Amino acid sequence: MEIDSTHHIDILNTSNAFEVTTNLIESYGSIAVYELHFFSDTVFEPEQTTFKWRLPAINVKGVWKPTSDFSKRIMDDWELDHLEARISVDSPVVAVFGHNDENCVTFACSDAINTTELNALYREEDDCIHCHISFFKEKHHQIKNYKVQLIIDTTTYHFSNALDKISQWWSSFKQLSPVMERNDIATLPVYSTWYQFHQDLDIERLLAESKKAVKLGFGVLILDDGWQTNDSNRGYDYTGDWQPERIPKMRNFVDKVHQIGMKLALWYAVPFCGKKSRAFQKFKGMLLAEDHRWAPVFDPRYPEVRTHLIGIYVKALMEWDLDGFKLDFIDEFKVYTNTILTKENGRDFASVNLAVDRLMTDIVQALKTIKPNLIIEFRQKYTGPAMRKYGNMFRAFDCPGDSVMNRVRIADLRMLCGETAVHSDMFTYHIDALVAHKALQVVNTLFGVPQLSVLLEKATVDELAMISFYINYWTRNKEVLLQGKFTPLKPLANYPIIKSETAVHSIVGIYDDYVLPIEKNSDRIDIINGKLTEEIILNYNSIHGAYSCKVYDCMGNLTKQFTIQMNEVFKYINVPPCGLIICSKITT
């Protein structure tokens, strides 16, 4: 059934139990907003309903999805790898971009809590991109009424601008408006214990590492998995009780970290109720899954479960004087095969997604009442617009040793999360790598908040100099890096050029051998050579004038100084591998 003359949207629905209507409620420029309404006179169990429309595949180069990583190619309509989004997984948005990174179409829906399915696919029969969004493909509890908005943007500007507008649009809805504001702690570089210690945490080594880290410019210690158990098998059998078995004098440890000059956040695997925990015996029968590959999963639809989890975090915050929480594995709260979606037998929610929203809302309210200036970190994929309500740090998903993936994930997060601080995955590397190779891991984190996970006690003098140089450079310039106009170029090439610019200061990272366009006439231009080759080729689109330039290697040593006229068509500059050039405009 065709419902709209603007985008010629069709509805695919086989159920007679409910009706679906659509109304164009707003239209400005090349942006259209529709209200989709599902309703019936009696309660009904909604079934899959899909909205489809198409556009000519003209100047289409790729398709962007929130966590598609390296896979941003055009997919054909016989490929069934669709984007699924819900409260704790991804974001309900897809962007189709052209050969100059321009937006072809970006579309999203206002329901970031319930499960939706989206895609934009190429159909060979008509050479068009076929867009769709499906609701209620997942089992859903009975309802009588459901309204949601669909926004479609075909404005021709850089696709990152379209995504930023979607982020702002989401924040305009009361149910998606961020509650956890970004604070100063959320933008401090982080020392994490995971990659170098895993569960083998030792108090004295941790304190010694913290002393080294704070001298390098790190401000937060994230104490990851292992503090809650003496078991070192990397499993989750003992989750659920959250007693500090390995660090029994936790308050004393936190105080010592504070005295060193660092904040401390503690890791929790929120959904898991390990079979060897006391909680497992107490909450048997209140679980979404018992045969999960890692550990049984709490059912947040039970108020007793929510009270138990909230109480754990409140008690820890009050007794140990924590500064934040790393709340992990939120995506495991979901509908499982045997999940019964009814509000009965002690459950005060039928919907798992709505219960997660209630749980996370109550956690944040309880914790902020005690300590307003708190940090809460989530990692991909639980970094959608709903999760911005509960956290002020979003971290790239685990990619140890993969500098390119880290850069891509940071960029993908940055384009959607507004004011929420985006953190890198922790950079790590082999101890015997050359310092320039180690620096590759660092410079690929600089457009997010850097996180480190290496043993500083074994670091070389050159390695420490490299880390100190870039962490201190980042700290001095984080307002530009985090608050400037952010533009990642060439998504299908994994963003080999990234820019962040204010009115007077531009910082550009170049990560492969491309000609670097200098388009903005800034008073200062910093170029990060995020590669092992030394030659950088600049291309100016206008006359910028004379600049005084300083070139540094990756350890912060000044290697050369010179003056250049930025008014030639091309300019060749040699910068050491993973080095930096700072160009300041000469004024007379």
Residue 191's nearest CA partner among 180, 171, 206, 170 is 206
> Quick check: pTM over 0.85?
yes
Query: Average pLDDT in the 121-141 region?
Result: 93
- The per-residue pLDDT for 142 is 86
Query: Domain residue spans in the chain?
Result: 10-176, 485-585
Flag whether pLDDT at 137 surpasses 90: no
pLDDT value, residue 1:
41
Q: Which is more confident, 255 or 521?
A: 255
Amino acid at site 185? I
56 close to 98: Cβ distance less than 8 angstroms: no
pLDDT tens, residue by residue, 375-399? 999 999 999 999 999 999 999 999 9
Q: What is the CATH number of domain 10-176?
A: 2.60.40
Asked if 200 and 232 touch (Cβ cutoff 8 Å), the reply is: yes
Is pLDDT above 50 for 258? yes
Specify the CATH number of the domain 485-585: 2.60.40
Mean pLDDT of 132-147: 90
- Say whether pLDDT at 3 is over 50: no
Question: Residues 209-242: pLDDT tens digits?
Answer: 999 999 999 999 999 999 999 887 777 999 999 9
> What is the tens place of the pLDDT at every residue in 448-471?
999 999 999 999 999 999 999 999
The answer to whether the Cα torsion of 398, 403, 404, 406 is positive or negative is: positive
Express each pLDDT in 480-492 by its tens digit: 999 999 999 999 9
* CB atoms near residue 368 (< 10 Å): 15
Count of all residues that appear for the chain in the document: 588
User: Percent of the chain beyond pLDDT 70?
Assistant: 99
Tokens of 423: 């953190």
Percentage, residues of the chain above pLDDT 90: 88
| Residue range 1-12: mean pLDDT, rounded | 70
More confident residue, 182 or 366: 366
Q: Do domains 10-176 and 485-585 have the same CATH topology?
A: yes
Instruction: Provide the pLDDT for residue 8.
Output: 87
pLDDT at 207 over 60: yes
Q: Does position 404 have pLDDT exceeding 80, yes or no?
A: yes
* Contact of 150 with 34, CB cutoff 8 Å: yes
Q: Would you call the peptide bond into 478 cis, given omega within 30 degrees of 0 as the criterion?
A: no
Per-residue model confidence (pLDDT) at position 567: 81
* Burial degree of 168 (CB within 10 A; 0-12, 13-18, 19+): exposed
Which tens digit of pLDDT belongs to each residue from 306-350? Answer: 999 999 999 999 999 999 999 999 999 999 999 999 999 999 999
Task: Please report the pLDDT score of residue 521 as a whole number.
Answer: 86
